[in-house]
Structure 1
Amino acid sequence: MSLAGHSIPVVRARESFLSSGDLPVDGVSGLVSASWRRSVEAGVSDLSNVLDRGYVGDLDLQSRFVQCALPVIDRLELELSDLPVSIALTDRNSRVLLRRDNQRLLGGRFDTVFFAPGFNYSEGEVGTNGVGTALASGKAVFITGHEHFAENITVFACAGAPIRDPLTGLVQGVLDLSCLATDASPFMHSLAQQAARNIEIELRASGSVHQQAVLEHFLRVSRTARGPVVSLGGDVFMSDTRANQQLLPQEKAYIREIASGLSGLRDSMVLDVEMPSGRSARVRPETVTVGADIAGVVLRVDLTAPEPSARRAPVKSVGMPEIPGDSAAWRRVTGEVVDAAHTAAPVVLTGESGSGKLALLTAAHRRAFPTRPLVVIDCRTDPVAQVLKGLEATRLPTLVLAHLDEFPGDYDDLDRILDERGEHGWLAATMAHTNTECAHAVSADATGNPTPSSPHTPTPSSRNAPTPSAGNASPPSSRRACGRDPHAQLDSVLRHFDISVSVPPLRHRIDDLPQLVSHLLGVLAPRRTVACTPATLRVLLGHDWPGNIAELREALRTALTRRPVGDLRAEDLPETCFVSGGRRLTPIEAAERSAIVRALMQTGGNRRDAAVLVGIARSSLYRKIQAYGIRVGQKLTG
């Protein structure tokens, strides 16, 4: 055992440095003394409570770095199973990504000093420690006892070794071994170094030729570009420093969707896009190839480009109260659908479930054909052939084939029935975005010659999307229903349509949400004067709405039930409004998530008080908030 960190010379050196700035000769190593000076220059103070600096979220545990480190950490954990040592992995910013504890009590000790996933252990925040000092010095370190700068952690010892990506040479993070100072051993230093080298071997093995080609092109472009640069190669998405600084999270997610749609195309056009935040950008994609294969795509993002609307025809505002929204994307879509209705041009609406496709068609029908009947057929469950044949005596109805891509029967039969209808009214259909070949099918005329696509901004879910593989492009019911290619059968029906319009999800027109909320409250509670408080609206604006308008309607319905009188408050919303994304939870996890959300609501977002209410450590609460994607901030009342 080595107790050098608790030796009298080290203790005296630390006391002398903190009181006067002087260091006795041979008191501590040059590495430690240099770290102490950096800690002072960084402004680290309040040594008795220096660690409580808050929580940093957005941990990417699915990254290539973490996935390569996990096998090494698993083996190391098994080898050290009988020793009182914790294993931690951090990213390049000193944030703890994960921690493995061989002893529960030891893990509890680390929780009390916030050495836990999501917390920052950089030198500039905490002072000298195994993680921050390893990153600051660029070399493996062994810090024990009073060699630490902060008083809180002088009872510990930690050995940290930086991990470099062999493909780039850049430091990706630190492998750290920590224990109580009384249990420290100098072998921890060499063990941490060896584990770091093993992770680097895994990183080298995982870097395929294609990924390396994309990485090299990404780095080359990033060095010369003036604006943000992102790349996508396989499932590896990278963004440079400018992208991280200049793009909002929802904007980066949107750019990634565009990259996904372009990654299979050899020749890509320059795109002028309007991002979810309302900002305009010009995206210049560069395809990366390895031999005859497409390895990925690198995108230059120009945020100084003129707004796309300056180069497009003016967008008309159709002003339909039953489908409110003033965003450019929504006005453009509604204008296209209303124009199709007025000219009786058969149209297909594609979009995510709950995005308002059927409501848009219904509103357009009422505006263009107020005296005609509207017939909506659910292709999933209704007897389509029987309903269509029964319409022969009906005078020119508007016919909507909802969920056309989920028709369980034979598309040839549906094609034949549509052929036999003769003179009919306006024909429309709705489909999911997963069948992106519909955008290609309806962009060709009857002779097979291509026609101009719809004028809305291209996205991965519209004309620039690569054609999906047969394995995921059509519903299982369609594949079961026929012996030949279901895509060809669907195309036979889509030839009856002239136009396709992509309906944006709610998260891509979030500026319309206040109008939607007001409209839905009027529909759900027509005899009640009710609104949302500013805090409630902030929660609604912060949610990503995977269920789109349908999910928003149900959230407001729940809130109205919980508060039958008065304006709706944030605590009235269902717990799902405070989370984003994530996996499907078990019943126990869902109950735990709801309990945490309720505790945060009761304490006005105060995480310290919420941890007391739930009965867990504050650091554990932070981890669970991150794991469940909970979004509850301060000052939620009012």
Structure 2
Amino acid sequence: MTTTGLCEREQLAVARDTAPSHRLVASWRRSAGYGLPLDTVDPAFAGAVDDGSLFYESGHEILEGLHRTLGEEPVSLMLTDVDGLVLNRLCTDRRLLGALDDVSLAPGFDYSERFAGTTGLGLALADRVPTLVRGDQHYCTRLWGYTCAAAPVTDPGSGELVGSVNLTTWSQRSHTLLLALAQTAARATEGLMLARGRGRAPRPTSRGRVVRVPVPRDDAGLGPLWRAAEDRAMAALAGDGGVAVVGESGVGRSALLRAAHARRSGRRVLHVRPPEPEDVGSWLALWAPELDKPSTSVIVGRVDHLPAWAVDEVAGLLADGPAGSVSMTARDLAAVPEALRPHVGTVVELPPLRHRPDDVLPLAVRFAREARGRAVRVDPEAEQALTTYPWPGNATELRTVIRGAVAGADVVSVRDLPPEVRAGGRHRLTRLEALERDEIVRCLAEPGATPATAASALGMSRSTVYRRLARYGIRPPTGPAR
């Protein structure tokens, strides 16, 4: 990293008698590392923006209401996507609009930290925490005339970062309420997304759990793709370089690392999950001292979800610690933060569960045993349904389904499975098709039900019901038709 820009930026802070926070200095360092000049701002222009997403529609509606409340106040309200691309801009103050155009803070421009340096919206996205950047706290001097407050917005179902709400005004104006307004708008956007997202329950909040994990070897019966990935992870752990297991969410990345660690005798393993942005300091204090212990290994899960300044801290720990003491998981190698990539010697890809049908039944039996505390049997019809369903949520979805199926029984039957699993996954259904499929499955789940009784209950002919069974891949109950 070049240090000239950073040194100049810190000298400016000293000259103006300001005391920058740790997060600001870390952002300045990254901005200097990107080679950004101090005196100009030149964000990339991406052109068209996605204005059809649930995030955009919800956020735009919230900002329109806030804009009406603010009236003639010189405040620009914006949404950005997860990459810092400005999606919209609401402002009635012509002078402020002209000034924002001069620095390209406008729809279609990329205002991420990589292209615009330290700004409120760039730092809010990088660190995933509400952020206020005032005047000369910006990396680029061209932005010193503005104060920016931004709050990240996450999908209320998945917890994925989807963008930010950004409020910008003149630097000489009061900023007391600016950050509070941005946070309120962000939370209101998430609430509206939840209400419009088919009533999904919000995800449980992660608090950066640090747990010692038991590592008994419990992968009996798993198929060749799992075995091959585990063997590769084991070989990497035995070497000097770090290992990253990549794959879709819920696929079993951390479980694979635990299984590989189980084959290394005598090592204590900690599994570290990403914290909420405000908890990064205490999160690091929980597990960072363990890196000095030669008998301890650490799995840092989902490094692609870490706030930027947490990434910098972890990278510093890895640079000072023993090689290979930390393994990590991420969606793919490109999602591993740049500062952590030098510490990845081997990348192990774990295929999604739909490509590992041999693993479905062994995992189902294991999850059932965990839920019931004793052996559980899966009947043949349920086996067929489980192995033909594509499992878009991977092993996490399978665990949830199995726990529900064995809530009151020691046998998993096809009637205990959700409609979508019973129907298989032959093609993507429309909303009306999905409703029709679920009604047929519900009728067939009644005691003594047959296709004939389902046809009567649904007001369909028997031949129509049989065609729907074939179309949706529904397996009717065994027994003579009536």
**Which category of TM-score, normalised to the shorter sequence, fits these structures?**
0.3 to 0.5
TM-score (structure 2 length as normaliser): 0.47
